[in-house]
Amino acid sequence: MIPPFEIFYDVHREEVLRYLNSRLGGQRAEDAFQETFLRALRAYDRLEHAEHLRAWILTIASRIAIDDVRRSRPTDELAEDAIWHEDARPAFEELAPLTDGLPPKERAAVVLRYGYGLGYDEIGGALETSEAAARQAASAGVRRLRKEHA
């Protein structure tokens, strides 16, 4: 059973706010916090199971943060000093704006994997797809970024 929204909100709100604070800070983080949970509330009664709720709410938060960042600064300003090595995991701060150009599923997979360290099973759940497809989306996203920022 899907937990009552109150419980869901209580469990995840601190982490969501910390995450948004690290991405946006201050008043913008607070606005994004409210928007994140309102958006979750809107979709909440259509959830089919209670797995991956953490990945789901962090995905919503990351999309809102990305949109906010995109609105507030030019896209290519941050691309310059990003470095893409095979095993380099860029700080999320650099990563999120860079991924703006990716198809939505790849972007979400890349951000959740490298920015937030979620497992592919969790990402799969958040994106309503399989673990293998999540892995594939993340690596396709990284390949595309390498090409764009080479």
Partner 1 sequence: MTTVSPELDERFRTAAAASGLLDAAFDVLSDTPVGRLLVGVTDHGVCRIHFDPDPERELESLARQFGPRVLRAAKPVERVKSQLDEYFAGKRRGFEIDWDVRGLPTYNQRVLSKLAQVEYGSTTTYGALAALTGNPRAARAVGTVMNRNPIPIVLPCHRVVGANGKLTGYAGGLDRKELLLRLEGAIL
Nearer to partner 1, 115 or 141 (CB): 115
Distance separating alpha carbons of residues 20 and 13, to the nearest angstrom: 10
Site string for partner 1, 106-125 (x = CB under 8 A): --------------------
H/E stretch holding 15: helix 5-23
| 51 belongs to the binding site for partner 1 (CB under 8 A) | no
Assess 42 for contact with partner 1 (CB under 8 A). yes
Site for partner 1 in 10-29 (CB under 8 A): 13-14, 17-18, 21
Task: Report the nearest approach of partner 1 to the CB of residue 47 (Å).
Answer: 8
Terminal CA-to-CA distance of the chain, rounded, Å? 47
d(CA 91, CA 36): 22
